[in-house]
Amino acid sequence: MVLEIPLFPCYVFVRTVLLPANRIAVLCVSGVIAFVGMRGRGTPIPDRQIEDLRSVISHRLAADPYPFLNVGQRVRVRGGCLEGVEGILIAKDGDRRLVVSVNAIEKSIAISLAGYDVEPA
């Protein structure tokens, strides 16, 4: 059984010139509450990010929601032999890595996260 749900519930993407009349037209659509961004003005999303999403959708690849992670954020490994290990997420040469530290001696190691899932700690 295949269950189809919105990719990002509660969000609708629009391509528009943000003139007052266009803003009002979008905000008058049933269910629309506001534009996302500073003071509700809307935040442009890079075309590349939209095209990447369209590519995944058009190829009908299975996609699941995943927590948004920022470089520098503390994360925890989910699954595998590193289950539960916590550290700081970094990126080096396009590779996501986990920095595990021993604060008392101010020493750290960095490991590749290739093949591991992580979640916010």
pLDDT per position as a tens digit, 105-114: 788 889 999 8
Residues 29 and 56 in one domain: yes
Residues 26 and 51 in one domain: yes
Residues 78 and 60 in one domain: no
The average pLDDT across 8-25 equals: 89
53 versus 63: which is more confidently predicted? Answer: 53
Instruction: Report the chain's mean pLDDT, rounded to a whole number.
Output: 87
Task: Provide the pLDDT for residue 7.
Answer: 80
Please say if the pLDDT value at position 29 is more than 90: yes
Task: Provide the pLDDT for residue 74.
Answer: 94
Q: Is the dihedral of CA 4, 7, 11, 15 positive or negative?
A: negative
Residues 43 and 60 in one domain: yes
Domain count, the chain: 2
Angle in degrees, CA 81, 89, 70, rounded to 5 = 130
In a domain, 103, yes or no: yes
Residues 17 and 36 in one domain: yes
In a domain, 1, yes or no: no
Question: Residue 103 — very low, low, confident or very high, per pLDDT cuts 50/70/90?
Answer: confident
CB 98 within 8 A of CB 75: yes
Task: Provide the pLDDT for residue 100.
Answer: 92
Rounded-to-integer distance, Cα 24 and Cα 14, Å: 13
Residue span of the structural domain in which 50 resides: 7-65
Q: Provide the whole-model pTM.
A: 0.62
In a domain, 101, yes or no: yes
In a domain, 24, yes or no: yes
In a domain, 2, yes or no: no
Q: Residue 21, by phi and psi: left (phi above 0), alpha (psi -120 to 50) or beta?
A: alpha
In a domain, 29, yes or no: yes
Residues 48 and 90 in one domain: no
pLDDT digits (tens, 9 = 90+) for 65-89: 777 889 999 999 999 999 999 999 9
Residues 19 and 42 in one domain: yes
